[in-house]
Amino acid sequence: MKSRKLLMIPGPIEFESEVMQCMAVPTPSHVSPDFIDCFANSLKLMKEVWQCPSGQAFIIAGTGTLAMDMAAANLIETGDKALVISTGYFGLRYAEILKRYGAQVDILEAEVGNIVPLELIEQQLKSKSYKLLTFTHVDTSTAVLNDAKRIGTLGKKYNVLTILDGVCSVAGEEIKQEDWGIDVVLTASQKAIGVPPGLALLVASQNVMQAFEQRTSPVSNYYGDWANWLPIMKAYENRQASYFGTPPVNLIIALEKSLQLILEEGLDHRFDRHKSAGKAMRAAIKALGLDLLSKNEYVSANTLSAPLYPSQIDTNAFLKSVNQEGVILAGGLLPQLKKNYFRIGHMGSVNKNDLLATVGAIESALKNNGYSHELGLGTAQILKHF
Ligand code: PMP
């Protein structure tokens, strides 16, 4: 397989072959009994993976941005106050989305590579009465991890609906949606959920569904309106056919398979595996003498890492060189620092061999592009830690 490359970007990721096989089955009707069972089962399994037994799951054709858009469209009415806790590019995207629906948005922005201190969030919540707050569990532009449990708890204390953008965390970082009191946990299929791009996934608390029912104005987004989708989700849950927009049948068959594999692995085991991968990758990067964008271990994501380039290196040639070594990595995403760092995804099915191959490719590419270091220091850390 001469052209085989290892895809180590922060989504889409490498998918399990059993999941990919689902993409190739002859597409059944979306109202066939087998598919109705599959849809019902996927909704049920989502609530297990999200650890939100009383929540309402939604599976909609779209991407993570649609899931963000949908939560905003259905919960915001003109003039509502919203607080965005931003740890990077996707936090700021959420602010833009909320403004589109007429929210008055305040943003608490972290310094690059860090989180917003909890005390500051609490101070802000005390100072004003917000309808909702959003935060990014792992911001894929900075590899910063927020403390979802503590932010969820604060939301409850101040009676604010909490929306967690879990696009780069669900099924990779620990989330106990119901225990932690988080009202919406949303994601996309192509990251730690382990299904090709094309699904917007979210679980909403009963609290949120009540807030939606109490709206006094119609939802201004037709495709995303829960009034259109809720009856469909309920019908499939009750194993009945229903239609609003044609579901992406093969993606949902693949989703059911991937959720089954996630639960077979066991959530605790899976979260620990991601922690080990994150720790091993960070240790490897540091052993090569490179710094990370995330400021310390406590705020570092386990689903991706964002190393800073050493100053001596030809950054344009570096990613090309990694690619020639058979591994695909991503460039920087924060507009102001784009050229200063790169990103390595390590989520989903990632294993020790993937990490070794990736760090090996990075070591060679660094060497080939003018950075002098002793070969093997990074891979040794993977062997030691993972
Ligand atoms: N939020 C986060 C944290 C993300 O990483 C991404 C995608 N990289 C998105 C939202 C948007 O998801 P999508 O690209 O599927 O629209």
| Contact indicator for 91, 241 with CB cutoff of 8 Å | no
pLDDT tens string 174-208: 999 999 999 999 999 999 999 999 999 999 999 99
Residue 172 has, within 13 A of its CA and on its CB side, a CA count of 32
pLDDT tens string 297-336: 999 999 999 999 999 898 889 999 999 999 999 999 999 9
Token pair 């109705």 is at which residue? 36
pLDDT > 90: percent of the chain: 97
**Summary mean pLDDT of the chain:** 97
| Contact indicator for 172, 348 with CB cutoff of 8 Å | yes
Residues 156 and 161: their CA atoms lie apart, in Å, by: 8
Q: Is the peptide bond before 33 cis (omega within 30 degrees of 0)?
A: no
Nearest to 309 by CA among 278, 282, 331, 276: 331
pLDDT tens string 10-58: 999 999 999 999 999 999 999 999 999 999 999 999 999 999 999 999 9
**Protein residue whose Cα sits closest to atom 8 of ligand 1:** 140
Q: Which ligand 1 atom is at minimum distance from the Cα of 11?
A: 8
Residue count of the chain, please give it: 386
* pLDDT score for 386: 85
Q: What is the bridge-based pairing of β-strands 304-305 and 327-328?
A: unpaired
Mutation probe of ligand 1 site: the residue of 141, 167, 343 with most atoms within 8 A of C-beta? 167
User: Which residues on neighbouring strands pair with residue 341, listed in sequence order?
Assistant: 308
Instruction: State the pTM of this model.
Output: 0.98
Residues 19 and 204: their CA atoms lie apart, in Å, by: 26
Residue 222 Cα to ligand 1 midpoint, Å, equals 22
Helix (H, G, I), strand (E, B) or coil at 188: strand
* pLDDT score for 3: 79
Average pLDDT over residues 209-215: 98
Pocket around ligand 1: residues whose beta carbon is below 6 Å from it? 11, 63-65, 90, 136, 139-140, 165, 167-168, 188
The set of residues, in sequence order, having a beta carbon less than 8 Å from that of 270 and lying 6+ positions away, is: 171, 172, 262
- Residue 160 CA from chain centroid, whole number: 22
Please say if the pLDDT value at position 2 is more than 80.
no
Please say if the pLDDT value at position 1 is more than 80.
no
Q: What is the bridge-based pairing of β-strands 104-109 and 81-86?
A: parallel
